[in-house]
Amino acid sequence: MSPETRIRAAVRLTFLLVNLILVVKSVSAQEMEPRAYSPAPVGAKFVAFTFLHQSGDVLLDPSLPVKDVDAKLNAATFAFGGTLGLLGRQTNLAVLVPYVWGHVTGTVFEDRATIYRSGNGDIRLRFSTLLKGGRAMGPKEFAARRPTTIIGTSIQIIGPTGQYDPHRLVNPGSNRWAFKPEIGISKPVGRWTLESMAGVWLFTANNNFFRGSHRQQRPLASFQGDVVYTLRRRMWASFNATYYTGGRTVVNGNINEDRQKNSRIGATFSYPLTQRQSLKVAWTKGVTTRIGGDVNTIAFGWQYSWF
């Protein structure tokens, strides 16, 4: 291979790997959180620590001269939140602060390279309120309530607080804002709970992408369904499925052929350690992927709750 060809291959691989990082970031944003609209008494608070690991192949446009793509990414997240009453309705606030690290490896032509990054990720804020079946109640009244159908709405906000350097193609932070309005329904049927959610990610532009480039991303719609089974008080398991579509990127006015049409399945198990502590294990896997990460995700979480 001539030096010029190797240089072109290295450049293409560099841009490929940044797209892989962005793809896997989008996979991590395609989280499946069952019981997102479950009721809680006013005054409840929690802190949580979660470790997440993603590994596997990343599927791209088959026309690209790329093979043997492998991603191994990790994230450690601290979260704090609580429940309060707003206009007589149960309202939840939560803040998540992640730290991410890992690498993605790929082969273009005969060259194989790896990019590794480590740093603070973008902070996330989630605000939700229950429109139906979620009247604000204190602990005693809440303990005597009967399960009922719940309709809730939420918005997630991701702020550009993560580590970012415009001279690097790959960064833990995204240098843009992202917003996800969502609506969800939860219906109890004995020990079972059926849930469905629909939302859309909206992104602002990154005006300082690599070397001053202008990067945009179109809306990314999401749909999720969960089946939750309560084994006993505060101990439950669920099967989860989600589908994402859209999210094409535009760099300096050039539209990329990277529209996502991805589905994922997963399972979650929550086990109470004590009256105030619980452990959670979650697993997800890509099922169908047009552009995105066909990766396995495993997460372990610890939560401490109090009034």
What's the pLDDT at 72? 85
pTM of the model: 0.87
Domain holding 274, by residue range, is: 3-306
What's the pLDDT at 277? 96
- The domain tally of the chain equals 1
What's the pLDDT at 25? 52
- Give the domain CATH number at 286: 2.40.128.130
What's the pLDDT at 109? 62
What's the pLDDT at 2? 58
Query: Would you list the DSSP string of the chain?
Result: --HHHHHHHHHHHHHHHHHHHHHHHHHHHS---TTTT----TT-EEEEEEEEEEEEEEE--TTSSEEEEEEEEEEEEEEEEEEEEETTEEEEEEEEEEEEEEEEEEEETTEEEEEEEEEE---EEEEEEEEES-B---HHHHHT-----EEEEEEEEE-S-S---TT-S--SS-SS-EEEEEEEEEEEETTEEEEEEEEEEEE--BTT-GGG--EEE--EEEEEEEEEEEEETTEEEEEEEEEEEE--EEETTEEPS--EEEEEEEEEEEEESSSSEEEEEEEEEEEE-SSEEEEEEEEEEEEEEE-
What's the pLDDT at 38? 92
pLDDT 10s digit of each residue in the chain, 307 long? Answer: 555 555 555 555 555 555 555 544 544 455 678 999 999 999 999 999 999 998 876 655 444 555 677 778 898 999 999 999 999 999 999 999 999 898 877 776 667 777 788 999 999 999 999 999 989 999 999 988 899 999 999 999 999 999 998 887 667 888 999 999 999 999 999 999 999 999 999 999 999 987 788 989 999 999 999 999 999 989 999 999 999 999 888 889 988 877 888 888 999 999 999 999 999 999 988 776 655 556 788 999 999 999 8
